[in-house]
Amino acid sequence: MSVIFIVAICLAFFFAFWNGFTDAAYAISTVVATRVLTPAKAVILSAVGNFSGLLFGTAVAETIGKGIVDSSIVNSPFILAVLIGGLTWDVSTWFLALPISESHVLVGALIGAGLVAGGVSVVKFSSIFDKVLIPMVSSPLIAFFVSFLLVSLIIRIFGRFTAQKSNKTFRVLQIFSSFSFSVSHGANDAQKAMGIITILLFKQGYLSQFSVPLWVMFGSYFLLSLGTLFGGWRIVKTMATGITKLRPYQGFCAEAAGALVILGAAIVGFPVSTTHAISGSIMGVGATRRLSAVKWVNARKIAWAWVLTMPVSAIAAGLVYFIIKQFL
């Protein structure tokens, strides 16, 4: 068992921790913005929800492990380059308080390192188009319209109730929607580290087939949940107040719409972005009042971070892999 192999496994688990650390903001931003829960209580709720996501299979792990690049090029230096390159962009955007997608960080890094390791032929562009790019574009749009429709429906149903009574009802419901969103986040995002670790174990001969070991599953979910407990507070403000102002019923709709989109994607194996889904949901909620209620300047900044994530991660990972190979 080489040192590079051990470092690659540890770094993959750190990626799961970092994913939870930064994505805590997405899971709790709405419930904190509406003051239904304090940040501390919201983070604990989210961590428990993240861990509960392990009940929803390993379809996303299989997509990451087998559906992005040909497994023939996978080895310890390759995985190490993918993770170092991806985390370079990930950590940089965290310092700038920009919410980005760890899903697309990882996919971009796999593509970049894959191109350097084996050329265009090893990258599974058809699978990437179907399982990554189409969901990348469609998930925030679907979340936008689902949350828009939910808010419109709730306004019609609860329009005759007083604001005090409506807020009291949705303050309770939002706790459940926030927990559901965290479950969906765990179900999708923990599997990305699981996929990376499992394909490496398989290629190194520690597994006879691509099947996620129980210890990898529990380790990934535990570290994702632990990262959530520490929380990514720099991004909470951007997500909770930087796009639009929220009331409890709006927070409920945003979380419910995001959870539906992400959980559905996890079940079918699409590594969609938690960031994209919740951002689209929040924008859809804001648009029910009027389009000007959405702070489109901030939304555009977030969108640019999304656009840059895959190519920058690809360049970084490709460069790291090239450098590593010079010394091996």
Question: How far is residue 262's CA from residue 266's CA, in Å, rounded to a whole number?
Answer: 6
Question: How far is residue 67's CA from residue 270's CA, in Å, rounded to a whole number?
Answer: 10
The reported pLDDT for the residue numbered 220 is: 95
The reported pLDDT for the residue numbered 248 is: 79
Question: How far is residue 208's CA from residue 165's CA, in Å, rounded to a whole number?
Answer: 58
The reported pLDDT for the residue numbered 243 is: 46
Which amino acid belongs to residue 34? Answer: T
- Hey, where are the domains in the chain? 3-326
Average pLDDT, 10 consecutive residues per value, the chain (328 residues)? 91 93 72 74 85 90 94 95 94 78 91 96 94 89 91 82 72 86 90 95 94 96 88 53 65 88 92 83 77 57 77 96 90
3-state secondary structure of 123: strand
The reported pLDDT for the residue numbered 237 is: 52
Chain centroid to CA 139: 12
Task: Give the global pTM.
Answer: 0.87
